[in-house]
Amino acid sequence: MPLDPDESPGFLLWHVTLRWQREIGAALAPLLLTHVQFVLLATTWWLNSQGEDPNQLNVARQAGTDVKMASEVLRKLEAKGLIVRTVDASDTRARRLRVTDEGAELAQQRARDALVVPEQRGEHVCRRNLGVSRRLGKANGLREGLLGAYRESIWLHEI
């Protein structure tokens, strides 16, 4: 017998994720960044801060994104002056990535400040509702935890 949508962990997770993504998108809009642009910028910045000059494949893998899509987004970040892409000396098809000073400021401070409230809300909702999941056991707990997160995300979204 099929689950009612409100009982399906996948359906609930999908809706919680969409609401969280909308909040992140709204927080990043004044910075003229999409969520995926921010993720790839922040990933590149982090890899640079670890002493790496990653190529596009490394950044896409670290961020968990599609390589072709990442390449297109990274070109847009370059056009905005947030990263520099240089030809890899060992493979002329690849590009090495460095975050510019402006990109580093955006990744480190301005975007982080913009994301504080959505991230705190998301973390708060997840922690509380995952606690429900642990108490009730795996199958029922996951469903109840996601249902709680879904209901709470609706409530937070309406504030």
Those residues with Cβ within 8 angstroms of residue 137's Cβ, 6 or more apart along the chain or in another chain: none
What pLDDT sits at residue 27?
81
Query: 28: which residues sit within 8 A by CB, 6+ positions away?
Result: 34, 35, 37, 38, 111, 114, 115
pLDDT at position 155 is 42
Rounded to an integer, what distance in angstroms lies between the CA atom of residue 73 and that of residue 18? 21
Radius of gyration of the chain, Cα coordinates, nearest whole angstrom: 19
Residue 79 is predicted with a pLDDT of 98
- Taking the C-alpha atoms of residue 72 and residue 39, their distance in angstroms, rounded to an integer, is 14
- pLDDT value at position 44? 96
Question: For residues 79 and 81, what is the distance between their CA atoms, to the nearest angstrom?
Answer: 5
The rounded distance, in Å, linking the Cα atoms of 112 and 33 is 12
Q: Which residue is it, tokens 């949508």?
A: 5
What pLDDT is stored for residue 99 in this prediction? 97
Alpha helices by DSSP H, listed for the chain, are 9-28, 35-49, 56-63, 67-79, 101-105, 111-136, 138-158
What domains lie within the chain, and their CATH numbers? Answer: 5-158 (1.10.10.10)
What pLDDT was estimated at residue 156?
43
Closest CA to 59 of 85, 33, 79, 34: 85
Q: What are phi and psi of 55, to 5 degrees?
A: -95, 175
| Beta partners for residue 95, in sequence order | 87
pLDDT at residue 19, rounded to an integer: 77
Q: For the chain, 159 residues long, give each residue's pLDDT as a single digit of tens.
A: 566 766 677 777 777 778 778 878 888 888 899 989 989 999 999 999 999 999 999 999 999 999 999 999 999 999 999 999 999 999 998 899 999 999 999 888 776 666 665 555 555 455 544 444 444 344 445 555 555 555 554 444 443
